[in-house]
């Protein structure tokens, strides 16, 4: 007998139905990952900023292998500011795009020392003036290091899954963030991103989603949903 086709979820027609659906999705994420946290190892906000810059186009696992030796060699922000960009690039070579990342890290250290008295800034406006800190990086640091909900982190997992669940119809990360900020209460902005990142790594895997084990499958409209 041919395999049964996965049941297609019926899309909600009213605002109340849509709100109920969002509630089920967020509730499922809360049950799956009630204490989801950033996967990048760090001791303080500066180390988190460095680790987040390194994580661009690189796995968190690889970054966590590089940073212990990196922070041992450059223990303070002043050490990074004084570092040779070429030498630092070689220290972080395995994370990819190492020349650009080294330039951003040295620039970030110098900017924070000269403009913010050596303290990582705590507003999105100030963070965005720091080399290497676009909105995603700024939101990671502000949310994880300081508990400040400046926005929603939109990484590749969040971008992909927000689209699959039709939480947004945009492709641009900035517009996706705007959609999610409108949809989510502010006190969920930080946790939501961590939850979705874990969900994307463990269940809603890009190449082979584990739809049969997914508690959100009844509310998922993705065309490639299986089981």
The catalytic residue positions are 136, 155
Per the structure block, which two tokens stand in for 225?
Answer: 């949903």
Using the CB atoms, write b or e for 114-151: b if 16+ within 10 Å. Answer: eeeeeebbeebebbeebebbebbbbbbbbbbbbebbbb
CB 154 within 8 A of CB 136: yes
CA-wise closest residue to 108 among 150, 47, 149, 155:
47
Percent helix / strand / coil, the chain, rounded to 5: 60, 0, 40
Q: Is 138 left (phi over 0), alpha (psi -120 to 50) or beta?
A: alpha
CB-based contact 115:88 (threshold 8 Å): no
């Amino acid at each position: 007998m041919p395999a049964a086709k996965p049941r297609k979820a019926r899309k909600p027609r009213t605002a109340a139905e849509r709100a109920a659906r969002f509630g089920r999705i967020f509730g499922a994420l809360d049950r799956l990952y009630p204490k989801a946290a950033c996967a990048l190892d760090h001791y303080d906000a500066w180390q988190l900023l460095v680790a987040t810059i390194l994580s661009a186009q690189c796995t968190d696992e690889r970054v966590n292998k590089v940073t212990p030796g990196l922070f041992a060699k450059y223990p303070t922000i002043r050490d990074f500011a004084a570092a040779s960009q070429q030498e630092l690039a070689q220290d972080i070579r395995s994370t990819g795009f190492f020349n650009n990342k080294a330039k951003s890290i040295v620039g970030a250290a110098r900017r924070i020392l000269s403009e913010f008295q050596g303290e990582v800034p705590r507003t999105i406006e100030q963070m965005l003036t720091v080399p290497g800190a676009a909105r995603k990086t700024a939101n990671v640091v502000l949310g994880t290091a300081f508990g400040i909900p400046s926005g929603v982190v939109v990484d590749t997992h969040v971008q992909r899954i927000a689209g699959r669940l039709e939480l947004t119809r945009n492709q641009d990360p900035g517009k996706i963030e705007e959609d999610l900020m409108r949809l989510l209460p502010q006190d969920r902005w930080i946790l939501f991103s961590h939850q979705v990142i874990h969900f994307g790594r463990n269940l809603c895997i890009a190449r082979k989603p584990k739809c049969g084990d997914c508690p959100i499958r009844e509310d998922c409209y993705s065309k490639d949903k299986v089981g």
